[in-house]
């Protein structure tokens, strides 16, 4: 999962791109980069690290231009070195920089086609560089540079690329080009801001980035749609792919997105509240005579759900863990060793909230389970008589292949285990999961037009279809063991 921003403004946009990235930092902590267009020059600065560490005053001073894109990276495909930081750049045709959120699932076939047919070389393992070269080739075949030509090139990308992707790019001599995969798996929102010198536009992964910069949210970019915003501030939009069933990633609502964001006209905050209500109702059905004394969220993402469970059960809600704000999101750390070490650094229990109580811990989801194990043990060490655990999402039993780092099946605690076996593994006195239908209904209530979701990590149904042998290939390249080997080289 990554964060992307693109802006066409009336003055230099680098500072705004930087601010937008800080709002999207939760989507990627591995690397960050900004590319701006100043006339016929493209300026790029990127590096490994957090946004605040990558961009010095000196680096920002050279990022001139009224058109620009920005990216914060969370590694799924590819390695974790400096050469994987985005935006990527090619100088033909015209000069193009591109940043991408998501994952292509036909990368290897595309890589071969790009070399053999398009006669372009790929220098990294990143699917984003492959996507950039596909777009560059499709634009080159147009033999002209115009908004219409760029939209035809986007249509060519949709014909060739398969997976979940949201893209922002800068094309020298034209402006900003943005597009979203035909199923709308990965999010992308369009906004504008009126200025004395004219209208300014923004596209970003989440609407929270628009809010902080004073842009008004217009709408979500439609699945398969292409957006062109010229350097003069002219907006062109066109459907560039055959209609497909809209299936946004439900894990955005469960965990990844900020609660103050709107995605596909659904408030993430409200969706999580509704998940809590439905899970609370399930708890009452299963254990009407429960003995729960206190509801405690595992910060931060589960707070909305935990509050509503508290309301449904009529049990007091308490903050039981203090979070160290200077440790990153454990889920998106590259490797199990880092995740395990970070749990104790990140959370510290308030013993008074646990001592001699039956505690229901609430988490947004349970993926690998090792973090949950440690938190459960913290609760016991703090004096809890019993520790129950509620997950606002169903069991994660399958790989996510559209940009979320949970690809190796054997790393998932729910893989090949019953709920009773998971309960034993985690060391809890009782475990309760959300039902898939209730999770999807909680999101759909915010937008009745959403008939389908990408819930593949919960139900194993992949909206794009899967080629034979794909899971075996990604397991070899993306498991924690594979990442450890790459870092050791």
What is the rounded CA–CA span in Å between residue 343 and residue 338? 9
Angle at 114 between CA 121 and CA 46, to 5 degrees: 50
Q: Specify whether 457 is catalytic.
A: no
The full DSSP string for 207-224 is: HHHHHHHTPEEEEEPPTT
Edge-first strand order for the sheet with 3-8 is 41-48, 31-38, 67-73, 3-8, 198-204, 189-195, 216-220
Burial (CB < 10 A; 0-12, 13-18, 19+), residue 1, is buried
What is the rounded CA–CA span in Å between residue 332 and residue 324? 16
CA-CA-CA-CA torsion sign (230, 235, 238, 244): positive
Distance of CA 388 to CAs 287, 384, 424, Å? 12, 10, 12
Phi, psi of 215, deg, nearest 5 = -90, 150
Residue with tokens 């930081």: 85
What is the rounded CA–CA span in Å between residue 313 and residue 311? 6
Return the closest-CA partner of residue 281 out of 309, 307, 315, 305: 309
Return the closest-CA partner of residue 129 out of 177, 86, 188, 181: 86
| Preceding peptide of 488 cis, ω within 30° | no
Q: Which residues pair with 97 in a beta bridge?
A: 89, 170
Angle at 255 between CA 185 and CA 350, to 5 degrees: 175
Listed as own residue / partner, the contacts of 110-114 with beta carbons closer than 8 Å and 24 or more positions apart are 110/134, 110/160, 110/161, 113/160
Phi, psi of 405, deg, nearest 5 = -80, 70
User: Which two tokens mark 464?
Assistant: 């794009």
User: Which two tokens mark 199?
Assistant: 């209208």
What is the rounded CA–CA span in Å between residue 166 and residue 151? 15
Phi, psi of 148, deg, nearest 5 = -65, -40
**Inter-residue contact 351 to 315 (CB < 8 Å):** no
What is the rounded CA–CA span in Å between residue 164 and residue 420? 34
The catalytic residue among 2, 72, 249, 457 is: 2
What is the rounded CA–CA span in Å between residue 442 and residue 436? 10
Residues classed as catalytic: 2
């Amino acid at each position: 999962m990554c964060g992307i921003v693109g802006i066409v403004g009336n003055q230099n946009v680098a500072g705004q791109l930087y601010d937008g990235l800080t709002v999207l930092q939760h989507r990627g902590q591995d690397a960050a980069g900004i590319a701006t267009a100043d006339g016929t020059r493209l300026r790029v600065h990127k590096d490994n690290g957090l946004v605040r560490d990558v961009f010095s005053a000196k680096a920002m001073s050279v990022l001139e231009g009224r058109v620009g894109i920005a990216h914060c990276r969370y590694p799924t495909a590819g390695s974790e070195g400096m050469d994987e930081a985005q935006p990527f750049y090619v100088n033909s045709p015209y000069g193009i920089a591109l940043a991408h959120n998501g994952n292509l699932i036909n990368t290897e076939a595309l890589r071969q086609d790009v070399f053999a047919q398009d006669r372009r070389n790929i220098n990294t393992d990143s699917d984003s560089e492959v996507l950039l070269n596909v777009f560059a080739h499709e634009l080159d075949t147009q033999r002209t540079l115009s908004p219409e030509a760029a939209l035809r090139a986007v249509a060519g990308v949709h014909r060739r690329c398969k997976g979940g992707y949201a893209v922002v790019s800068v094309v020298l001599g034209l402006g900003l080009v943005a597009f979203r995969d035909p199923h709308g798996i990965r999010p992308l929102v369009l906004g504008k801001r009126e200025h004395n010198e004219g209208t300014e536009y923004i596209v970003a992964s989440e609407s929270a980035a628009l809010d902080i910069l004073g842009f008004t949210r217009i709408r979500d970019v439609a699945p398969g749609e292409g957006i062109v915003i010229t350097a003069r501030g002219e907006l062109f939009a066109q459907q560039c792919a055959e209609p497909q069933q809209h299936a946004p990633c439900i894990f955005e609502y469960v965990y990844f997105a900020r609660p103050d964001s709107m995605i596909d006209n659904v408030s993430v905050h409200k969706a999580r509240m509704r998940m809590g209500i439905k899970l609370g109702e399930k708890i009452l059905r299963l254990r009407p005579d429960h003995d729960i004394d206190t509801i405690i969220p595992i910060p931060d993402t589960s707070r909305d759900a935990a509050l509503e469970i508290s309301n449904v059960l009529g049990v007091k809600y308490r903050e039981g863990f203090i979070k160290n704000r200077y440790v990153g999101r454990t889920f998106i750390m590259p490797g199990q060793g880092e995740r395990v070490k970070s749990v104790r650094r990140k959370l510290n229990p308030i013993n008074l909230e646990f001592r001699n109580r039956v505690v229901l811990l609430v988490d947004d989801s349970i993926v690998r389970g090792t973090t949950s194990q440690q938190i459960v043990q913290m609760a016991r060490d703090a004096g809890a008589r019993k520790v129950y655990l509620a997950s606002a999402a169903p069991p994660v039993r399958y790989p996510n292949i559209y940009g979320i780092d949970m690809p190796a099946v054997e790393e998932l605690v729910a893989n090949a285990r019953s709920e009773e076996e998971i309960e034993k593994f985690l060391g809890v006195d009782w475990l309760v999961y959300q039902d898939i239908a209730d999770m999807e209904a909680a999101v759909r209530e915010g937008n009745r037009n959403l008939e389908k979701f990408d819930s593949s990590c919960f139900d194993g149904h992949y909206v794009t279809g899967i080629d034979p042998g794909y899971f075996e290939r990604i397991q070899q390249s993306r498991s924690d063991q594979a990442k450890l080997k790459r870092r050791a080289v």
